[in-house]
Chains A and B, each alone.
Chain A
């Protein structure tokens, strides 16, 4: 059993490793700030939007628990609210993509 686990881990590591090796030397050396900026920006946007969407989901769960009959209206508000929050992340994504590509 342990041998199999070891084998699978080894195969997984090798599979992950091949694209990593393939990428060496691709990026220009002087532009080290771009990946850091992209990572920070995307991480900030996604994390903060996660906080916001968590609040929305929490409020929806509470509202549904109080009044399950109002499901249709609550779901409408849920979807539209989530879409607006999520679109901010996607704006960031597109902007980063445009600036780096």
Chain B
């Protein structure tokens, strides 16, 4: 199969990779770029574990092809903290113990980040609907929802 050379921006850095047409963005991130923060859950767009941002929009990386992201911007969990400073969502997930096994967490953090950018002051219902495409088999969701609402409040207060 022909390998394509792709130039894209990942977490603000220009990045080159090669991939075949059958490789998803998820395959590329994990297999070619060794950025394993993005998790492989169902592989069919149902669980949201591989959620990344593509040009600012949340997408399932398992349903995006590597060959189509040339010239676009990808944001993954590896770019969420600024150095050792956690994003407010990451800190609130720790504070609220909003994770157990952690496999869903990178996807949920990315989805929540996109949600709060669009709606900085969501209701609990809006958070639950917004995260409907992210499955968690450990927490029962309540701690996740509380963490997102708390992070939203903090981000509003600090103007971030």
**A and B from one assembly?**
no
Residues of A within 8 A of B (CB): none
